[in-house]
């Protein structure tokens, strides 16, 4: 009987030794088959396995790369994705009109002519009536409010569902704050000055100002200066002061009005062909999402940082920065509500997204009204 504990101890030791021996043999075996520098190679192999097939896409963009802020953002996006993917994802940028007309990017992506594009969804207004709500809403949300609605409200879900029907997957990928209210060759002192005005205007704001008697036309950014210089239009809105100045507007229109009532936010999106999107690996999809979220943050920060110096330099260029008369601004606000209601009555998607934005703003107002200092403080 005395021998049994000893035998049991020896058996336990033998088992332990066997386990340790097997572990060591396995470890040595794994090291023996691993090449020098195998840690890096193994990581690359894992990354290659998980990241999906290499991507090399042509990417038409809606804004010229020479445009400050707006044109710089897709450059940043493409480079960030290239570096983060270790070169596995390459996006080659093509200027507006180079391979796809500026206003037809989503059509080209939908039809598979290109796999993806970077655009302002408001240009889809003619075929997707709800699209302006996703890109710029007169008297609408401020930039961070839009981001909150997109990520933590219904924005992302509703937009993806809307564009899914057009074989597109949209990713929120750029954001700037308010535009200027426009560049005018003549002063605007009252509502009557808007009647008969020939103006380039985009989105829902164009419908609003047209209701006040203006003659509205749509032009890509690269064609506006020539139209303004030759008198084909009397005024234009387009983008931020630094962008508008780079396009030469300040040389021919000396009255720059504020605030940007028609676009308190301006969002841009990367649109990917839905069938292509669904073939991407989870890590590739996550990389696009993450890079675009970073691009939104950087884009807005850059936009906010650069405008003050531009406006401060207007006097030296003979440009006057002015505020729209309050009665005109209030009339624009009133007509905006009419236009929104009419569009909602005509299109169910418009009504759904508008209701979502209004509900979010109502909730957010409890925080916004109390948490932030008054603008004149």
Q: Tell me the CATH number at 224.
A: 3.40.190.10
Structure tokens at 323: 């505020």
Name the pLDDT band for 221 (thresholds 50, 70, 90): confident
Q: Tell me the CATH number at 283.
A: 3.40.190.170
Same domain flag for 296 and 166 = yes
User: Within 13 Å of residue 361, how many CA atoms lie on the same side as its CB?
Assistant: 13
Task: Classify residue 131: in a domain, yes or no.
Answer: yes
Task: Classify residue 354: in a domain, yes or no.
Answer: no
Same domain flag for 141 and 194 = no
Question: What 8-state DSSP symbol labels residue 61?
Answer: B
Task: Classify residue 357: in a domain, yes or no.
Answer: no
pLDDT of 33 above 70: no
Q: Model confidence over 305-323: pLDDT tens digits?
A: 999 999 999 999 999 999 9
Same domain flag for 57 and 147 = yes
Q: Model confidence over 144-197: pLDDT tens digits?
A: 999 999 999 999 999 999 999 999 999 999 999 999 999 999 999 999 999 999
Task: Classify residue 36: in a domain, yes or no.
Answer: no
- The predicted pLDDT at position 27 comes to 32
Task: Classify residue 212: in a domain, yes or no.
Answer: yes
Same domain flag for 283 and 333 = no
Task: Classify residue 371: in a domain, yes or no.
Answer: no
- What is the percent of the chain where pLDDT is above 70? 86
Residue 20 vs residue 104, higher pLDDT: 104
CA distance 146 to 160: 15
Evaluate whether 220 touches 96 at the Cβ level (below 8 Å): yes
Instruction: Taking residues 21-34, report their average pLDDT.
Output: 33
The closest of 121, 105, 173, 174 to 353, measured between CA atoms, is: 121
Task: Classify residue 356: in a domain, yes or no.
Answer: no
Same domain flag for 145 and 212 = no
Same domain flag for 333 and 235 = yes
Same domain flag for 338 and 222 = yes
Evaluate whether 95 touches 63 at the Cβ level (below 8 Å): no
- The predicted pLDDT at position 68 comes to 97
Same domain flag for 191 and 229 = yes
Domain range for 324: 182-262+320-346
Same domain flag for 257 and 269 = no
Same domain flag for 215 and 230 = yes
Q: Model confidence over 89-144: pLDDT tens digits?
A: 999 999 999 999 999 999 999 999 999 999 999 999 999 999 999 999 999 999 99
Residue with tokens 């240009």: 123
Q: Provide the whole-model pTM.
A: 0.85
Same domain flag for 166 and 92 = yes
CA distance 91 to 264: 30
Give Dmax over CA atoms of the chain in angstroms. 114
CA distance 228 to 197: 12
Please state the domain count of the chain. 2
Same domain flag for 199 and 300 = no
């Amino acid at each position: 009987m005395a021998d049994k504990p000893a035998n049991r101890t020896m058996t336990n030791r033998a088992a332990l030794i066997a386990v340790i021996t097997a572990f060591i043999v396995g470890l040595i075996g794994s090291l023996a088959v691993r090449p020098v520098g195998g840690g890096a190679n193994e990581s690359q192999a894992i990354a290659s396995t998980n990241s999906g097939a290499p991507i090399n896409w042509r990417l038409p963009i809606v804004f010229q790369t020479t445009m400050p802020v707006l044109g710089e953002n897709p450059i940043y996006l493409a480079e960030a994705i290239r570096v983060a993917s270790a070169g596995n994802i390459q996006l080659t940028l093509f200027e507006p009109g180079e391979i796809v007309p500026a206003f037809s990017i989503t059509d080209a992506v939908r039809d598979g002519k290109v796999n993806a594009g970077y655009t302002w969804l408001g240009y889809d207004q003619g075929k997707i009536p709800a699209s302006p709500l996703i890109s710029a809403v007169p008297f609408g949300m401020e930039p961070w409010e839009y981001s909150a609605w997109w990520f933590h409200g219904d924005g992302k879900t509703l937009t993806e569902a809307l564009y899914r029907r057009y074989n597109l997957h949209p990713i929120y990928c750029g954001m700037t704050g308010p535009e200027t209210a426009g560049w005018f060759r003549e002063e605007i002192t009252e509502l009557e000055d808007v009647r008969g005005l020939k103006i380039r205007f985009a989105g829902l704001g164009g419908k609003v100002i047209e209701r006040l008697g203006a003659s509205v036309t749509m032009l890509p950014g690269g064609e506006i200066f020539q139209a303004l210089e030759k008198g084909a239009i009397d005024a234009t809105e387009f983008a931020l002061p630094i962008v508008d100045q780079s396009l030469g507007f300040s040389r021919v229109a000396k009255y720059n009005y504020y605030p940007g009532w028609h676009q308190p936010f301006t969002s841009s999106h990367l649109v990917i062909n839905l069938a292509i999107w669904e073939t991407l690996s989870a890590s590739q999809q996550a990389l696009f999402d993450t890079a675009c979220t970073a691009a939104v943050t950087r884009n807005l920060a850059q936009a906010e940082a650069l405008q003050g110096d531009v406006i401060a330099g207007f006097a030296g260029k003979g440009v006057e920065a002015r505020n729209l008369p309050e009665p005109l601004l209030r009339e624009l606000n009133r007509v905006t509500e009419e236009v929104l209601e009419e569009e909602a009555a005509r299109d169910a998607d418009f009504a759904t997204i508008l209701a979502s934005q209004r509900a979010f703003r109502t909730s957010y107002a409890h925080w916004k009204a109390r948490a932030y200092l008054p603008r004149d403080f």
